Amino acid sequence: MAHFIGIDIGTSGTKTLLVNAQGEVVAAASAEYPAYAPKPLWSEQDPADWWRATCQTVQAVLAKGKVQAADVKGVGLSGQMHGGVFLDAEGQVLRRAILWNDCRTAAECAELTQKVGAKRLIEIAGNPAYAGFTAPKILWVRKNEPAVYEKTRKVVLPKDYIRYRLTAEYATEVSDASGMLLLDVPKRKWSKEILEKLELDESLLGRCYESPEVSGRVTAEAAKATGLKAGTPVVGGGGDQAAGAVGNGIVRQGVISATMGTSGVVFAHSEQVQIDPAGRVHAFCHAVPGKWHVMGVILAAGGSYQWFRNVLGGAEREVAAVSGQDPYVYLNDEAAAAPAGCEGLFWLPYLTGERTPHGDPFARACFVGLTPRHNKGALARAVLEGATYAMRDALEIIKGMKIPVAEIRLSGGGAKSALWRQIQADVYGQEVVTINASEGPAYGVALLAGVGTGNWKTVAEACDAAIAVTGRTAVIPENKKVYDKFYPLYQGLYRSLKDDFRKIAEAVG
């Protein structure tokens, strides 16, 4: 029987899935690796760790699934977006990869914006210059590590380094390339205008494919390292968000995903390229050929609740250690006892600044509206509500762009909690649904591998075969009325505090 492998090069580890021709997960494996912070706000990893994790997890799923290498008909790749891997003429890594959450490039973002023009950059690349994106990293290395830059012959994204190790091909695909700030997103090809203005040669970049296209085949050397068969096709794959959207079935207009992980992502499929002129949401090429997506990113959505558990949930963690339960179960029970709206208590979830809609690295998290009536349960519920208000910010922008929102599919930690599912339905003002797939980007690229090698004709066909709605959460009208009244107050709090956030940042240096 035909099988497909999906590999996701994440920030904390690599996850690999073996999927059969019906889209069922047969085996899964993961391997962790470290990140490094040699200076404040820096974030780096060693690409050799990604390759070791890839070899280890591919071997593991083949063994667990009891599948012969010849039965694997295709491989798909996903990974953390925006990271820069600098390679010399022999394909050797010249320095640690600079990751998506590295914030060293503020000056290079300003330089890039000045050279291309703020308005023109958004028109071409679909996004303003954020510190996490790839192009500013290239400019930083050119300026600060000239010896490295002089030897650099290729700059590739994390998953595309694994592609190189598997196939000896320098290549990427349009969804991940969209996050480099070097792609003409409407035209789905490298932007000669941006490259010329930044004085970068297109030879630095690999060939750009559509996501299900075969981009190369496993070499004999990689076959020995991974257990795969030499000649196995490797498709383009996708950046982790686009790949995760395929894994959630977000491949038709009108179906939206709201993923509440450490960060929160509201993801909408679009038949045509749609770019927010203010750059409040990202416009990227989708992993569906010839389609695009719009995406709002909340930096500390589920991360806010994780912070609350770690800092204020000590009692719940102690009880959980004895009972074997998850501490969130107890926090959710306490939060459920508080009323919708928490009697005017708000949480602004800006623990690490904010992306959508503010684009403000100085924004800070805070509780506003505390009274003696508020207990820990109210604080916990306010955190859940605040993160969901932030997701609604992105959803409202998407609706304002005239992108239809017929169905909202939940995933991530926010989909596992009945309370958080209900809060999301009530804050969004719309029924939300859950699905049978929960494996994320690795699952999405396994489906793309099946499309690229002929198991399914289209990405939509693959998703229809493998993904189904399994649960629905209806709106509670009384709660919706409360949230509709409080949501504008939540929005106003950022505007009131924006200048103070910057002053705080200046005061602490």
Q: Is residue 277 part of a domain?
A: no
Q: What is the amino acid identity at position 334? A: E
What is the C-alpha to C-alpha distance for residues 296 and 292, in angstroms, rounded to an integer?
14
Is 450 a member of any domain? no
pLDDT for res 361: 84
172 and 46 in a single domain? The answer is: yes
Q: What CATH number does the domain containing 379 carry?
A: 3.30.420.40
Nearest-5° angle of CA 307, CA 310, CA 315? 135
Residue 499 counted as domain residue:
yes
Residue 201 shares a structural domain with residue 322:
no
So what's the pLDDT on residue 1?
86
Token output for 135: 């192009």
Same domain, 182 and 82: yes
- Is residue 240 part of the annotated active site? The answer reads yes
**Annotated catalytic residue within 240, 276, 393, 426:** 240
- Its pTM surpasses 0.75: yes
Let me know whether 61 and 160 are in one domain: yes
Last residue of a domain, one of 243, 261, 281: 243
Question: Given 228, 243, 258, which residue is the final one in a domain?
Answer: 243
Contacts of residue 97, defined as CB under 8 A and 6 or more positions apart, other chains included, come to 44, 45, 46, 47, 83, 84, 85, 86, 158, 161
Structural domain includes residue 439: no
* Predicted pLDDT at 440: 87
Domain co-membership, 120 together with 234: yes
| 409 within some domain | no
The ranges of the chain with pLDDT < 70 are none
**Domain end residue (candidates: 243, 268, 286):** 243
Q: What string of DSSP letters covers 277-293?
A: TT-SSEEEE-SSTT-EE
- CB–CB of 243/17 below 8 Å? no
Quote the domain boundaries for residue 391: 298-404+486-504
Same domain, 204 and 311: no
Task: Say if 477 falls within a structural domain.
Answer: no
The answer on 34 and 97 residing in a single domain is yes
Q: How many domains does the chain have?
A: 2
pLDDT value, residue 490: 98
Same domain, 229 and 302: no
Q: Which residues contact 44 (CB under 8 A, 6 or more apart)?
A: 35, 36, 37, 38, 96, 97, 98, 99, 102
Q: Are residues 225 and 369 in the same domain?
A: no
Closest CA to 349 of 358, 340, 337: 358
Question: Same domain for 47 and 146?
Answer: yes
Give yes or no: residues 340 and 209 share one domain.
no
221 in any annotated domain = yes
User: 415 near 434, Cβ under 8 Å?
Assistant: yes
Burial class (CB in 10 A: 0-12, 13-18, 19+), 35: middle
How much is the pLDDT for 40?
82
Q: Residue 427 has what pLDDT?
A: 98
Domain membership of residue 250 (yes or no) is no
Same domain, 75 and 189: yes
Burial of residue 440, with CB atoms counted within 10 A of its CB: 0-12 exposed, 13-18 middle, 19 or more buried: buried
